[in-house]
Structure 1
Amino acid sequence: MCKLRLKILASIAMITLLLQGCSMMPEEEELLPPPVKEPEAVEYTTQVIERGDIVNTAKGSGNIGSKKQYSLSFTYRSGYLKSMNVKLGDTVKKGQLIAELDTDSLEKDIQKKQLEIDKIKLELEQLQDQDPSNELERKKLKLEYLEDRKKQFPDEALELDYQIKDLKLEIKDMENQDGDNYSVKVKKKDLEIAQIDLEDLKLTRDKSQIVAPSSGKITYMEEIGIGDYVPALKTLVKVSDPSDLILEYTGGYALKMKVGMPVTATVSGKTVTGEVVTTPSDFPAEEQELRKETAFIKLNKVPEGVEIGDSASFEVVLEQKEDVLLVPKRAVIQYMGIYTARVLSEDNIRSEKDIEVGIETATQYEVISGLEEGDIVILE
């Protein structure tokens, strides 16, 4: 009984201690609601769409050349090169011998033909010194002889008939003429034929030479040595006429150029104006493959001292318009041929609009449709 009472008292004491411990714990604080954070305002770099002028230019460099340029070759024949009488950069005069093919065999033919002509001339002089009346009598006697022989030898009649016929014509011609007899006329014809042959040989020899068609400067030479075989029509030399200088440009911009486009060029430290005078499509058909990216620019005034081969820089106006809507490139997204402008409304709402563009420069587009003057675009 006494043990039970002790257990009860111990339990009461423990409960009392627990209750006192709970009373000593701090009270929990009431949780506060989280603060409401105002969103930061988005700031854009913008620009107002306005009207203005737009100019699309291209810059490049080229060399001073000549609009009159002659490509020289052996036009009519092939052969082995005998001589090359100029070098790159030489100045030549019209008619000056540039190059020639080996014509040793041709020279021999010319000499032989000249000797043949001299021989015919001697024979002609001898015939002209003879008495025409004696010649006529001799032919008549020969005719009688042939006719008698024809009677005596019928087997030879056919051959004799040809001789008799020719002889009668000669006699008739001599009787009717007041000047040269038949033999003289024939010899003169022989002389004429020989002289024609000689001229043909000389012409062939001349075709074995290249001469300067104009005074100018050698601006191109094919690498070829004496004794090398040269095909006909192969360009060996180019002669440029310095009296008609142009600025020659080769590059991708040539395809965008049109005749008449204004140009500003700098050559020898001086700035001059000019215009495009030849584009790739203006060259002859046989040159278009070679000149597919070439344009000629005519300078209004070539500075003194400028020579063929000098370098020059230029700027050409490809396109230009006045008083058009302009949008900065920074405000436009271009994807697969579609141009989209980032636009900001009056209440600061961002949107996108598809636009149609025209002239393009490094920094701007011409706006054809899709935007209006006063629209605000976002630059990014």
Structure 2
Amino acid sequence: MNIKKLITLTTNFFLLLTLQACGSFNTAQMVSPSVPVYEEPSYETAQCQQMTIRDTRTIRFTYQAAQEETLSYSESNVRYSAFFVSPGAVVQQGELLCELDLEDYPDLLLASEDTLADLEDNLSLLDERLSLSLKRQRIEGTGLTYRERQNAENAVYVRYSQEKTELEDQIHILQERITQYQDMIQKRQIYAPFDGTITYVYTPDAEDFSKSGKDIITVTNASQMLFTAKTEYCSYFQPGVDYTLTVNGEDKIASVVSSDDVGGTVALSLKTPDYTLEDGASGTIELSLEEKEHVLAIPKKALSTINGTSVVYVPGNDGFKTYREVETGIENLTYVEIISGLKEGDEVLLPD
């Protein structure tokens, strides 16, 4: 061995020992040279498989408040008497719903109507009675002079006129009285303003008295409880067909009332009225435009376009991706039908 090399190796050996003893050499600082390792690229994939695809559209409907009227009494400080309906009752226009204490007004009204009928009968017979009185006067006055007969007949006319005036006055007074009784009774009764359903009834305490304008009963016309939508798919909605309408997370059955292709408006009516709905509430229907069974399909997000041609990327033999042209059919929010370009079981690459 060369003497110079031996001396050099010996010197380096002792220098290394000296550095370790002094703690100034850190073995962690010795880094091995890195060697690049080849890794094949990895992709998330999905299979082309058979399934049923429904092409649907979400149609949003808006609730229009039904015809509704809340009724109240115009009389105050009168005791409540009777309620003839309860919430949910179906009523007809003009039906009596409830009333306050009518006191003796019905009896007074009935007696006045009976008296009025008698007076009107008397008035209708008055002309006949006048004719009979004149005939009797002429028979009894055969021995009287002409002037005496005239005076006697004039007296008959005067009595007739006075009696007629009295009857007409009594009839007029009774008619006004009857109107007053009817008004008093009407103020203490509530009738249905239209055909509908009772949605609210006030429950008074035992010692409660009426207050003018206080809400007592609400009537709703359920036939006008409609959901409407403006949509280009009016032709798919046929009158009389039922759909599932989702409102506030709850499914309800609604029937198509009308579908206007020209105006683009569809109207639905709930099969079972929901009186808790507020004006402007919204509901949705998943409208099926087309449905195919046993078709090949892939996730829609796997589909790409190159120069207007639909393509999918598939794993290549060399580990890298390549693309393949495909022909597509119907689709929904998640999947698209593959008519050609792939077969069942083929893998397609999904985007990162």
| Structure number, greater radius of gyration | 1
Q: TM-score, normalised by structure 1?
A: 0.38
Q: TM-score, normalised by structure 2?
A: 0.41
